[in-house]
Structure 1
Amino acid sequence: MKKRYLPIAMFAIAALGLTACSGGGTDSPTDDTLDVWIMQGTNPDTEAFFDTVGDAFTEKTGATLNVEFVQWADAHDRFVTAIAGGTTPDIAETGTTWTAEFADSGALAPIDDYVAEAGLEDDLVQGLVDSGTYDGSLFGMPWYAGVRSIIYRTDVFAELGLAAPTTWQEIVDAATVIHAERPDLIPFPVPGDAEMLTYPWVWGAGGEVSTLEGDQWVSGLDADEAREGIRFYTGLATEHGFSSAGATTWKETDLLDNFSQGTVAMAISGSWTPATVLEKAPELEGKIGAIAIPGQNGGISPSVLGGSHLSMFEGSENKDLAWDFMELMTTGDFAQQWADQTGYFAGTESLLQPTIESDDPLVQPFAEQMVDGGASLPVTPTFGAVQAKKTTNAMIQSILSGQKTVDEATTDAAAEMNDIMNGN
C-alpha cells in the first residue's frame, strides 16, 4: 500500500499537484487515492494513528489514503489559498469555527444525504451538528470535541466541609468560605483574556451572544439577561474579591498554570486539561474533581463546545470514497481510539454514553456537560472577525479594570459586534 506523509514545507507544491480521482465505489476495490488534510498536534501519535487508519481504509475500499499534516497556526491561511486556487483536498479537518466560513465560500459539499443514508442523524452530538450546519445544510461531520466545565480542589472542599456547587449562589457561598479560611488560594479566578469562559454565564442567565433577525445579526450582550450573567461572572472579582488583579490579563493557559501550581480552588477548564494538570502537578492526584457549570438556579449552564469536523470539498470527484473515510473516522473503533489518545470526546452520543456512565470524576462531568450543555457560537463567517477583534475579551477586561460599568461595556461590545457581523 502507498501512503505519503508530506512535510509542511512541501504543502504548497503538493496542493498544486493534487489530481482529481474518478468515481468512488463504496466497499469495492479501486485504484483511487483520497487526499486528506489533518491538523497536527492534537494527537501526539498522529502519524502512527493514520498508518493504521490507512491500512484499514485500503482494506475496506481498495483505495490509497494520502494524508498531509498541517500545523494549526498555518492552517487557515492555507485553506483560504487552496480554496482560491482550486487546490483543495477531498477531505479536511476543519475547526468548528471555520466550517461555516468555508461553506459560505462554496468550497464544501453538503453531507446530509450521506448521514441520513448511514442512519446517523440521531446519534451525532447536537452542538457539533449546530456548528457544522450552514444555511440549512450540514457541511461538517462531527469528529471530536471538548467542552469547558469547572475543576476544583476536592481536598480543599473536604477540609472545609463544602459540597460541590449546584447553583450560582452556591459558587459564591463556597468561594466565600475558601476566601476566609484559605487566604493562600484564589477562590475563583476571572481571566480577562479568555473569551470562551464568558459565554456560559451569558447563556446560563438566559441571554444570547448574537442572533440572526431577518438578514441582520443582533448582539444580545446588552440585553438584560446577558448583563445579569456577565455581572455575576465579573462580580466574582469586582464585588466579592474571589479573583486577583493579575487575572485581568490572564489567558486560559495562565489559569491552567496557576491551578497546576496549587494556587486556585475553582476554575473553568477544558475537558482536555485535567491530564495536563496532573502531569504538571502529580501531587494533585486524587485531589481534584470536576462539575458541569451550574445553571443559575440549578441544572447546567451551556458551555462552548469546540473541536473539529471532517469536511468534504465540493471539488472532490470522489465523494463516495470521501464519505467512506469520514464514516470510518467518526464512528466505531477509530473514533474511540482518537478520543482516548487525545483526551477529547467523540462526536457521537453512542460513543459518549459509556463515558457519561463512567464514575471517573475527571471525565464524567465533562461528558455530561457536552451532551446536555454543549453550545455553539453564532454560525457565520463573520463571527471569526469578532473573535479576531477580541470584542468579548475587551468587554470583560474593561469591567474588571473598572474602566467601564457592566452596562457601558456590554453596550459598546454589542455595538461593535453588530458592526462587524453585519459588515458595517
Structure 2
Amino acid sequence: MKTRCTAFVVFLASASLLAGCGLVPGGDDREEITLWLMKDSATADFIERFTKEFEKEHPSLRLKVESQDWGGITEKVDKALRTGDDSAPDVIEVGNTQVAQYVDGGGLVDLTLESMRDLGMDDWLPGLAAPGRFGGSQYGIPWYAANRVVLYNKDVFAEAGVSKPPKTREQWIADTTRINETGNQGIYLAGQDWYTLSGFIWDEGGDLAKESGNIWTGTLDTPAALRGMDFYRRLQELGNGPKDADEGNPPQAEVFAKGDVGQIITVPGAARTIVAKNPALKGKLGFFPVPGKTAARPGAVFTGGSDLVVREKTDNRAGAVELIKALAGEKWQVTLARTMNYVPNKTTLAEAVSGDEGSAAMAEGAAHGRATPNSPRWGSVESDNPIKEYMTQVLTGADPETAAKAASKRITSTLDLRTR
C-alpha cells in the first residue's frame, strides 16, 4: 500500500521504531519470533511495552522487532516470502491493499481457521478485512485503519451561518454554497482526488472494477459510478481546486492554512500541518465524517491501513499466530489507536477513540469503509491511473460516459491476468 500510505503517513507520530527494540535477554531455549513493522506505524515506547508483556505472557518466545521503510518494501517482502533463511521475518505488517499481490506470488499462511476461531472476524472493519481475503481464504489480519474525514474551519462556517456539520450530501452542497456567498472558498477539492471519488461511487452502489469468473472489468461507465462522478463534479465546482492535479499539488493543507477555505477532505493529522503553517487557526479546526446520501449513515470512504501476515516458511507458526492475536486483540488495539490516532480494527472498539474529535470522525466513516478492487494487479492501475485522467476530462467538459468507457477499458486491460 505504498502509494496509499503516502497519503496517510502525514498524520502518524514521528517517533521511529528501532530495529530489534524491546528485546529481553533470554536463555538459548527461547524461540525467536521476528516481526517487521513499517517505520512510524507505532512509537518505540509502544513496541517496548508490547514486547515486554508479550514475552512475559509467552516465556518460551523472544520477540525481535525490525523497522522497515515503505520505499522498496514490496520487493523486500517478496524476497522474504521466498527465502527459508532464519533471518527472514515470521510476521509482517503489510498495506491492506497489498495482501492480494503477496498471496498471488505465494508464501503466505492461510489464517482462515485462526481468524474465525480466535480473532473475532465478524467485527473487523470491512476496509481491512476484505483486502486481506483472497480466493475465499483470510491471509491478512486487520491491524489498524485510517481514512479521510472533512476538516473544517469553524470560524468560516460560523460566518456563513452554518451552525453544525452537514449529515447528508445535499445539505453539504447547500452549506458549501452558503460559505461561498461570504467570499470565502466553500471547499478546496482537487480535481484528481480519486480516493474521495471512490467513496461517492460506492455510495451509489458502483465500483471501480468488478470480478467475474476470475476476469476483472473496469466499471467506471456504469450508471452508479457515473452518478458518483457527477456528485464529485458538483462539489468540486464549489471551490477553486485545480482540475488537472491531485490533492498533493499544491498540498491542500497549505491552501487551507491561509484561513479563507471552509473545508478539505483529508486525514485528521493534516490539522497539525495546518496549525504549524498558521498558528492562528489553533482551536478553530473541526472534523466530521464525509456525509452520506441520507443522514442515517456517513458516506463510504477508502480505508487505508495495515494487515498482519505470516510467512509460510516460518519455523514457528504457532508463535507467529500468538503474536498476531496479541497485536490484533482488544488491549493492544485500544492502546495503539489512542497512541497513534488510528481507528481500531473492529467496529466494536470505536468507543476507544471517541474522546478525540478527528479519530471519532474517522471511526464513523471506517465502519462503512471500503478498499480498492482486490486484484493482484491493482497497483499497476494506480501507477498508470486512468481514473485521474478521466476525472480531469469530465471536470473540463468532456462527455462523462465516453470518458468513463475509455478509462474502464484501460482498467480492464491492466487487470487482465491473461496478459501476464
TM bin (shorter chain): 0.7 to 0.9
Cα distance in structure 2, aligned partners of 1:284 and 1:417: 42
Residues 337/245 of structure 1: CA separation in 2 closer, same or farther (3 Å cut): closer
Q: 2:267 aligns with which of 258, 266, 270?
A: 270
The answer to whether the 8 A contact 2:268-2:287 is kept is no
1:389 aligns with 2:384: yes
Is it true that 1:39 corresponds to 2:35 in the alignment?
no
Does structure 2 conserve the Cα–Cα contact (< 8 Å) formed by 1:146 and 1:271? no
Q: Does 1:173 align with 2:178?
A: no
Determine whether 1:283 maps to 2:297: no
Give distance in 2, aligned partners of 1:132 and 1:77: 19
Deviations 1:371-406 (A, max 9, x none): 1x211221121111111112212221233344x332
**Match of 1:51, as an amino acid?**
E
Task: Work out which of the residue numbers 326, 330, 355 in structure 2 matches 1:332.
Answer: 330
2:129 alignment partner AA:
V
Q: Tell me, yes or no, if the aligned pair for 2:201 and 2:226 is still in contact at 8 Å.
A: yes
Residue 61 of structure 1 corresponds to 58
**Deviation by residue 1:235-260 (Cα, 9 ceiling, x = unmatched):** 334xxx42225363233471222223
Are positions 1:411 and 2:409 aligned together?
A: no
Q: What amino acid maps onto 1:366 in structure 2?
A: M
Match of 1:295 in 2: 292
Question: Does 2:126 correspond to 1:126?
Answer: yes
1:414 offset after TM fit, Å?
0.6
3-state SS, counterpart of residue 344 of structure 1:
coil
Aligned equivalent of 2:145 = 145
Structure 1 counterpart of 2:347? 349
Fraction of identical pairs, as percent: 24
For the 8 Å contact 1:331–1:348, the answer to whether it is kept is no
Residue matched to 1:226: 225
Q: TM-score, normalised by structure 2?
A: 0.86
* CA positional deviation for 1:308: 0.2
- Give the one of 364, 389, 399 matched to 1:368: 364
Q: Which amino acid aligns with 1:210?
A: A
Which residue of 2 is the match for residue 24 of structure 1?
Answer: none
Which residue among 334, 357, 380 is the counterpart of 2:375? 380
What is the rounded CA distance, in whole Å, between the counterparts of 2:265 and 2:74 in structure 1?
27
Structure 1's 343 and 261: CA in aligned 2 closer, same or farther, altered over 3 A? Answer: farther
Q: CA, structure 1 residues 316+191, in 2 after alignment: closer, same or farther (shift >3 Å)? A: same
Distance 2:299 2:326 in 1: 33
Q: TM-score, normalised by structure 1?
A: 0.85
- Please identify, of 53-62 and 319-328, the stretch whose mean Cα deviation from structure 2 is larger: 53-62
Is there any run of 5+ residues in structure 2 with no aligned partner, and where?
Answer: 1-16, 22-27
CA contact (8 A) 1:190 1:234 kept: no
How many residue pairs match? The answer is: 390
Which AA in structure 2 matches 1:152? Y
* Superposition map of 1:91-170 within 5 A: 91-118=91-118, 120-162=120-162, 163-170=164-171
Does the C-alpha gap of structure 1 residues 49 and 361 become closer, same or farther in structure 2, counting only changes over 3 Å? closer
- Asked whether the equivalents of residues 217 and 418 of structure 1 are also in contact (C-alpha less than 8 Å), the reply is yes
1:210 and 1:219 in contact (8 A); partners too: yes
Letter of the structure 2 residue corresponding to residue 124 of structure 1: W
C-alpha deviations, 1:54-102, integer Å up to 9, x for none? 2222211121111211111121121123234445421000101111111
- Aligned mates of 1:102, 1:317 — CA distance in 2: 19
For 2:234 and 2:18, how far apart are their aligned partners in 1? Answer: 54
Q: Matched residues in 1 for 2:157 and 2:173: separation?
A: 14
Task: Give structure 1 regions of 4+ aligned residues with deviation exceeding 6 angstroms.
Answer: none
User: What value does the CA root-mean-square deviation take over the aligned residues?
Assistant: 2.4
1:5 and 1:256 map into 2 onto residues whose CA distance is: 32
